[in-house]
Amino acid sequence: GQQVMQIPQYQHVQEGEDFTTYCNSSTTLSNIQWYKQRPGGHPVFLIQLVKSGEVKKQKRLTFQFGEAKKNSSLHITATQTTDVGTYFCAGANNDMRFGAGTRLTVKP
Amino acid sequence: DAGVTQSPTHLIKTRGQQVTLRCSPKSGHDTVSWYQQALGQGPQFIFQYYEEEERQRGNFPDRFSGHQFPNYSSELNVNALLLGDSALYLCASKVRSDNSPLHFGNGTRLTVT
């Protein structure tokens, strides 16, 4: 069945440093979605990528979808303490399958 | 406009018991999915309901069953509870479209002792 792998599992950065998390699927995806879950909260939708090679930006966040539609990345420029949380990718075929997430902590 | 609501927020059960969790989707949404999230893990897909039928199912045993009602609300039932069933159970709703995002509720924290 479809598997979505995400690395790294944890990332601790100093405020102002950049952060990247990577997502890989065992199968080609129709689309990929990214979610953020704050400690004690629930996943909140960030963005969706549909097209091969697509790149989308949200302020300091840049999302990419691979040419083969099997991998994706999320890059945060100049992290802030408000970026703390776990970032999940979710790959869609018939249902949404989530990666294990990358937990980001930011030291002020 | 209420988002996805789940009840109860917390629940403590004993091994072997049965539990029912409830979910009301976001207004305008007709598809409900259930996820199990163990501590420090990503949400694991249990199943999805649309038009009152189970449409997709993840790798969960038959002890996990569900239901969707005509008003699109949904229930998750777990029988013969095991200690390993302790987790946060998340309900997510969306509009029936492959590309629509999931809206999650706050979840039900189930503890099995």
What mean pLDDT do residues A12-39 have?
A: 95
What mean pLDDT do residues B91-113 have?
A: 91
Nearest-5° Cα angle at B72, A49 to B101: 10
Report the residue of B55, B102, B108 to disrupt the A interface, i.e. the one with the largest count of A CBs within 10 Å.
B102
B106 and A1 in contact by Cβ < 8 A? Answer: no
Residue A94: pLDDT band by 50, 70, 90 thresholds?
low
Quote the pLDDT of residue A1: 60
pLDDT in tens, B37-66: 999 899 999 999 999 999 999 999 999 999
Quote the pLDDT of residue A33: 94
Chain B neighbors of A99, CB-CB under 8 A: 42
Residue A47: closest CA among chain B residues belongs to which residue?
B101
Report the residue of B10, B99, B108 to disrupt the A interface, i.e. the one with the largest count of A CBs within 10 Å.
B99
Strands annotated E in A1-108: 4-7, 10-14, 19-25, 31-37, 44-49, 55-58, 61-65, 71-76, 85-92, 96-98, 102-107
Instruction: Decide: helix, strand or coil at residue B17.
Output: coil
What mean pLDDT do residues A49-58 have?
A: 96
Quote the pLDDT of residue A16: 97
A88 and B43 in contact by Cβ < 8 A? Answer: yes
Quote the pLDDT of residue B98: 61
Residue B56: closest CA among chain A residues belongs to which residue?
A95
A101 and B41 in contact by Cβ < 8 A? Answer: yes
Quote the pLDDT of residue B29: 94
Residue A10: closest CA among chain B residues belongs to which residue?
B40
- State percent of chain A over pLDDT 70: 96
Cβ atoms of A90 and A98 within 8 Å: the answer is yes
Quote the pLDDT of residue A96: 81
Residue B99 pLDDT greater than 90, yes or no: no
Residue A2 pLDDT greater than 70, yes or no: no
* Mean pLDDT value across chain B: 94
Instruction: Decide: helix, strand or coil at residue B94.
Output: strand
Query: CB pairs below 8 Å between A and B: how many?
Result: 55
Residue B97 pLDDT greater than 90, yes or no: no
Quote the pLDDT of residue B100: 85
pLDDT in tens, B61-86: 999 999 999 999 999 999 999 999 99
Quote the pLDDT of residue B18: 98
- State percent of chain B over pLDDT 90: 89
